[in-house]
Structure 1
Amino acid sequence: MAASDLATDLKQAMPDLRGSLQAGVSLADLTWFRVGGPAEALFLPADADDLAYFLARLPGEVPVTVIGLGSNLIVRDGGIPGVVIRLGRGFSEVAVEGTRITAGAAVPDVKVARAAGDAAIAGFSFLRGIPGCIGGALRMNGGAYGGETRDVVVEVETVTRKGEKVTLSNADMGYSYRHSSVPDDMIFTRATFEGRTGDAEVIAAEMAKITESREATQPIKSRTGGSTFKNPPGTSAWKLVDAAGCRGLVVGNAQVSELHANFLINLGGATAADIEGLGEEVRRRVKETSGVTLEWEIKRIGVPKAG
């Protein structure tokens, strides 16, 4: 089925759809690496009810892929078959009540950190160091600078592949290091977090320190995708990459950052294949020199370009 056929057929089958549904949209502009092919169909739901309506009527054989801000993501050059769902404005609310914060899945992590700081709620400063949105942090148990998402989650609202709304507790999330056990076909829409009463000046100082550290040690102004590999038990991925002689390594127009060896960079004109191929070469060299098999932290989705 052609991309236009899928989008057209779905629109006709869902007359009450309120969100945007488009065919053949390039996903490169929606990822921090600025690479990747098109979505066969891209759906931006108006809100959680619209998302549930869409999924309840979407044929079971149509694949669904969910993306957030695209900060920790490689979309392969052949694009993504089926429907890509991206949560936007209808999932961007932030509300504070006491030491609790409720945030939509599309809210940038840094915005939640700032909201907590403004309300003198401690426990959220680590989110300042995660370049993504709340949905991704929930899915991957995002963490940085001594904190993890599971430390503050109370409950998470989701929509299932069948269009059912389900609320999960912290315990239901099955959290471990950079992982949750929630099925991939459940879409996070909103979450409630709990912090503790803190001092606004202390929290501001914590976040300023994190900001300074990121700017000094990470290539945040480059086309990058955050930490590439998970830290193996007892060591740091960047140390193994460095020891394997991969700092500055180039494949095509992709490079291992000179500033931080666990970051890959699009030097300009890189393909997704360049970036993923570079990552695989790094994994090969690290395995050869240390015996450790690095696990990807960056998500890689879609299909390679034909030919």
Structure 2
Amino acid sequence: MSFPDITLQLRDAVPGLRGGLEANAPMAPLSWFRTGGPAQALYSPADEDDLAAFLAGCPGGIPVLVVGLGSNLLVRDGGVPGVVIRLGKPFQEIQADGLRIRAGAGAADVKVARTAAEAGVAGLSFLRGIPGAIGGALRMNGGAYGGETKDVLLSCRGVSRDGTVRTYALADMGFTYRHCGVADDVIFTEALFEGRPGDPAAILAEMNDITQARQASQPVNTRTGGSTFKNPPGGKAWELVDKAGCRGLRMGHAQVSELHTNFLIAHPGATAAEVEGLGEEVRRRVRETSGVELEWEIKRVGLPA
């Protein structure tokens, strides 16, 4: 399907726009599931100022969605109305200064972890276990292998829907498990982390252990996303899915991983509807067998076909 072209309206509303703007841009290549319809408009800001100007001028009735690496994203088959903002290369810079690491919101978590390791900054190795970008880690208090974003964040920057740029201290973030309390319309652009002194070789060895653990326990070389469901209080989502008899369960070309049951796999030919439908069937079976209502951790966006 395709949407009406709104790019001319957007360019008129934001004179001097420097970032890229594309109508009916394919979204499937931007998601690790490789499914879904187009974005009505895809905007790639040139820098933070360009992003702020765009948000300030973008008509309020046009919805806006920001995406990073697409590792935790399921785009529905009907596509995404409004504007999808992708933070590309201008937001991927990483700098080390003493025990502090400054990273753009578009920077891959693994690259931030490696930069910290090479600089002898311990405490950020857990980022190696998160298949996403820093913006997502900020938005979800991303964590893995015993660490969470809240443990190392000093502050970050974000742009609100009206174009206001603000710095957020850790205390402003309202972090809880896989949740950030900052308004949903704020687009994070940069983060400042602080670790502790460490030996680069030891930190890299720790990261290598995380890599091996992921490869042994997760379907890392398939078309999948991050963890599908949040862990319920006091429990593990994968255990509930397993006990519900869902290991290897298929719906069309979508399948529950046999290696790790909290991962869904989109085999070639899978639609987003099949992936989401399979996830809902898993939730139903878990609810019937354990009484637990699993919450989606993967972000589902857009319209059904």
- TM-score, scaled to structure 1: 0.98
Q: Deviations over 1:3-32 (max 9, x none)?
A: 453111111332311000010001001000
User: Which position in structure 2 is the counterpart of 1:48?
Assistant: 48
Between the aligned partners of 2:279 and 2:79, the Cα distance in structure 1 is: 19
User: Which position in structure 1 is the counterpart of 2:105?
Assistant: 105
User: Which position in structure 1 is the counterpart of 2:32?
Assistant: 32
Q: Deviations over 1:261-296 (max 9, x none)?
A: 000001111100000000000000000001111011
Q: Decide whether the 8 Å contact of 2:244 with 2:286 is kept in 1.
A: yes
Between the aligned partners of 2:57 and 2:205, the Cα distance in structure 1 is: 49
User: Which position in structure 2 is the counterpart of 1:83?
Assistant: 83
Amino acid of the residue matched to residue 27 of structure 1? M
Q: Please, what is the CA RMSD of the aligned residues?
A: 0.9
Structure 1 position 217, deviation (Å): 0.6
Between the aligned partners of 1:93 and 1:111, the Cα distance in structure 2 is: 10
Task: Kindly report which structure 2 residues correspond to 1:140-155, keeping only aligned pairs within 5 A, or say none.
Answer: 140-155=140-155
Between the aligned partners of 2:265 and 2:225, the Cα distance in structure 1 is: 8
Between the aligned partners of 1:287 and 1:4, the Cα distance in structure 2 is: 41
Deviates more, 1:13-22 or 1:126-135: 13-22
User: Which position in structure 2 is the counterpart of 1:256?
Assistant: 256
Q: Matched residue of 1:208: which SS?
A: helix
User: Which position in structure 2 is the counterpart of 1:228?
Assistant: 228
Structure 1 position 202, deviation (Å): 1.4
5+ residue gaps in structure 1?
none
Between the aligned partners of 2:12 and 2:4, the Cα distance in structure 1 is: 12
Amino acid of the residue matched to residue 110 of structure 1? V
Q: Matched residue of 1:16: which SS?
A: coil
The number of residue pairs the alignment matches comes to: 304
Q: Deviations over 1:231-274 (max 9, x none)?
A: 11111110000000000000111000011000000111110000
Q: Decide whether the 8 Å contact of 2:154 with 2:192 is kept in 1.
A: yes
Amino acid of the residue matched to residue 293 of structure 2? T
Q: Deviations over 1:159-197 (max 9, x none)?
A: 110011011010100000000011110000001001011
Between the aligned partners of 1:226 and 1:10, the Cα distance in structure 2 is: 33
User: Which position in structure 2 is the counterpart of 1:299?
Assistant: 299
Any runs of at least 4 consecutive aligned residues in structure 1 with deviations exceeding 3 A, and if so which? Answer: 2-5
User: Which position in structure 2 is the counterpart of 1:160?
Assistant: 160
Q: Decide whether the 8 Å contact of 2:157 with 2:167 is kept in 1.
A: yes
User: Which position in structure 2 is the counterpart of 1:14?
Assistant: 14
Between the aligned partners of 2:244 and 2:5, the Cα distance in structure 1 is: 48
User: Which position in structure 2 is the counterpart of 1:214?
Assistant: 214
User: Which position in structure 1 is the counterpart of 2:192?
Assistant: 192
- TM-score, scaled to structure 2: 0.98
User: Which position in structure 1 is the counterpart of 2:239?
Assistant: 239
Q: Matched residue of 1:168: which SS?
A: strand
Q: Decide whether the 8 Å contact of 2:253 with 2:267 is kept in 1.
A: yes
Q: Matched residue of 1:126: which SS?
A: helix
Q: Deviations over 1:210-241 (max 9, x none)?
A: 00000111000000001100111111110000
Amino acid of the residue matched to residue 191 of structure 1? A
5+ residue gaps in structure 2?
none
Q: Matched residue of 1:178: which SS?
A: coil
Q: Once the two structures are aligned, what percentage of the paired residues are identical?
A: 65
